[in-house]
Chain A
Amino acid sequence: MICNEINVFMRTIKHKHPLAIRWAHWINFPVLTIMIWSGMLIYWADPEYSITISGHTFVRFFPGWFYTFFNIPHRLAEGMAFHFLFMWFFAINGFLYVLYTVFTGEWRQLVPGRHSFKEAWLVLLHDLHIRKTLPPQDKYNAVQRIIYTSIIGMGLGSLITGLAIYKPVQFHWLTWLCGGYYLARVEHFILTIGYVLFFVIHIIQVILGGWNNFSSVITGFEIVDNKSVSIIKVEHEDEKPNE
């Protein structure tokens, strides 16, 4: 038996995102994209929404160039066929995600607490470079808690408003809950706009968060200290014949 001193670089990693949550996240991304795209193919057939205040139209959903750019016109049937297939994946994936967070207790990290709304304000001020310090951060900060819980609420909202439009007679109580067929369609549309806004902010935050943060959504872990330590290893010679 001999003693060797080897430099082994040890780092501390933090297990951040469980596998199930990473799966749910990366399944949801393309599925939601397809839902939004096929939803656009459907919406085009009756594109009546705009933001109009006292006769002045600020935003029209959507201008002609938008439809041309994304090759949307005259694809209603195709849009419906895609939408009514991928709705299953969207719903099942969301359902499994919620089930997972409930049964593992992960929801405690995700649902806003009593102080979240006050803290969220401080986080916002910090992110806008108005305030220097951050409130003590947990796995998810207050803003993240509010947003990540809202987005699940929005998913449920899309499911409910979607069913209210899809089968307004069989699920008439859902349609009633949404304030009727017409409003259910408006709400379904607004939620979609909400996802797009979420996506834009999410991407900005991911870029600002840096590589280590981004890669943790793929690997599950994040490196928390970069100190390398030199340790003494005691090994049998026959285990390391080429040493």
Chain B
Amino acid sequence: MKNLMNKNNMEELSDKKINRRRFVSFATFLGLSGIAYGGWRWLYNSPAEISGITAGAKKPLRRALNQTELIVRKTYSNDHLVKTYPVSKAAKKVRVNSTIGMNDKNFKAGDWLLTVHKTNEAPLQVTLEDIMALPKTEIVYDFKCVEGWDQIQHWGGVKFSDFIKHYQLEDQAKLQYVGFATPDKKYYVGVDMPAAMHPQTLLAYEVNAKPLPLEHGLPLRLIIPVKYGIKNLKRIGSISFSDQRPPDYWADRGYDYYSGL
């Protein structure tokens, strides 16, 4: 009864068979659409993750972010440098997007000290003069905000890796993460060690060859070109090291912890 005419993908079938095939196809289609829709509703209405180091994302989406991090981390290398530009390209008016962690009216830059917390040792206190005495590195690169904008900016300071070397913190740098926090601890970020030790990561005290203005994080801020702006903490008060992810302000609010570029 089957009369296949394969030449043009033609086939002769009885009405009954055509209807049966059509029914099977449509039933499958509608069934799978239903399952897909159900899956989507499940994902869309899935509960928020349990608040820990990260918070604010739907549980399955947080897992996806963390899994994706593991994959994209394989593409990361400290040999991949951020593109740099001539100083003339740098923005004269450097964009200010946030002052979270810098709203303490009693803050005096002159009294500022950087505290470096070491595991199993007394903390280290460093003055701005100490830091400025270290070899200076400048970078002009395209700063990228998680919101989508970017701007070519000119920063100057000390390479984080130089800072580690000078203060003999190599043992600390063997841990997996560095935490940075503002003196009032209202803004805080966690950075994976490879990104912190990237040759273009700076503890910056200058923008456009002048000391940082208050809104850019006087006296010392993090400039970490391999991360979105959210990780570039202003007004560093303390640095700590850990094998666990340090608390992170935006990862607490649904953003990817890694936020690498």
Chain A residues with CB under 8 Å of chain B are: 8-16, 26, 30, 34, 42-43, 45-46, 48, 76-78, 80-82, 84-85, 88, 167-172, 180-182, 185, 215, 218-221, 223-224, 228
Contact = CB atoms under 8 A, between A and B. Distances in A.
16 contacts: A11-B15, A11-B18, A13-B11, A15-B11, A26-B29, A77-B250, A80-B255, A81-B61, A81-B62, A167-B260, A168-B261, A169-B80, A169-B260, A170-B75, A180-B142, A218-B29
A141 to B, nearest CB: 17
Which 9 A/B pairs are nearest by Cβ-Cβ distance? A46-B148, A77-B254, A45-B147, A219-B25, A81-B61, A15-B9, A85-B64, A9-B15, A170-B75
Interface string B152-187: 000000000000000000000000000000000000
Given A15-B9, A169-B225, A77 B64 contact: no
B55 to A, nearest CB: 11
Nearest to B253: A77
A165 B160 CA distance: 26
Given A85-B64, A218-B29, A45 B80 contact: no
Interface in B1-25: 5, 8-15, 18, 21-22, 25
Contacts of A76: 146-147
B160 to A, nearest CB: 16
B128 interface: no
B148 A42 contact: yes
Contact of A10 (B5, B13, B58): B13
Contacts, number: 126
Contact of B22 (A12, A30, A170, A219): A219
A46 B225 CA distance: 20
A167 B261 contact: yes
Contact of A46 (B22, B36, B149, B253): B149
B226 interface: yes
Nearest to A78: B254
B144 A170 contact: no
Contact of A221 (B21, B62, B150, B226): B21
B72 interface: yes
B144 A12 contact: no
B144 A181 contact: yes
Contact of B13 (A11, A88, A169): A11
Interface string B96-116: 000000000000000000000
B76 interface: yes
B19 to A, nearest CB: 10
B211 interface: no
B82 interface: yes
B131 interface: no
A81 B65 contact: yes
A169 B82 contact: yes
B10 A169 contact: no
Nearest to A169: B261
Nearest to A27: B36
Contacts of A46: 145, 147-149
A181 to B, nearest CB: 5
A8 B58 CA distance: 57
Contacts of B76: 170
A219 B12 CA distance: 16
B68 interface: yes
Nearest to B255: A77
A56 B142 CA distance: 30
A85 B61 contact: yes
Given A85-B64, A170-B72, 10 more contacts: A12-B10, A14-B11, A15-B9, A26-B29, A45-B146, A46-B149, A77-B56, A169-B81, A170-B261, A224-B10
A9 B25 contact: no
Contacts of B82: 169, 172
A42 B81 CA distance: 26
Nearest to B254: A77
Contacts of B261: 167-170
A80 B147 CA distance: 10
Nearest to A224: B10
Contact of A12 (B12, B65, B226, B260): B12
